[in-house]
């Protein structure tokens, strides 16, 4: 690993069912992936909050 790669995450395999859409602009694909990640994080946080007993 070079010093410039120290802060970067290692490449990961894409989840089952997710794939590059050949009709989608690569830049648009990037933002769609970012939105998918954001939705996953928000969903995880909501799930954690929902599991707290009241």
Read off the pLDDT of residues 1-47 as tens digits, 9 standing for 90 and up. 455 555 555 555 545 555 666 677 888 888 999 999 999 999 999 99
**Residue 40: predicted pLDDT:** 97
**Residue 24: predicted pLDDT:** 73
**Residue 34: predicted pLDDT:** 95
Contacts of 32 (CB under 8 A, 6+ apart): 21, 24
CA atoms within 13 A on the CB side of 29: 9
**Residue 26: predicted pLDDT:** 84
**Residue 49: predicted pLDDT:** 94
Q: How far, in Å, CA of 54 to CA of 36, rounded?
A: 30
User: C-alpha angle 29/31/37, rounded to 5°?
Assistant: 105
What tokens appear for 19 in the block?
């794939």
Q: Are 45 and 54 in contact (CB under 8 A)?
A: no
């Amino acid at each position: 690993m070079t010093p410039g790669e120290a802060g970067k995450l290692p490449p990961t395999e894409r989840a089952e069912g997710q794939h590059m859409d050949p009709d989608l602009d690569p830049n648009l694909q990037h933002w769609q992936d970012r939105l998918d990640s954001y939705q996953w994080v928000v969903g995880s946080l909501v799930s954690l909050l929902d599991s707290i007993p009241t």
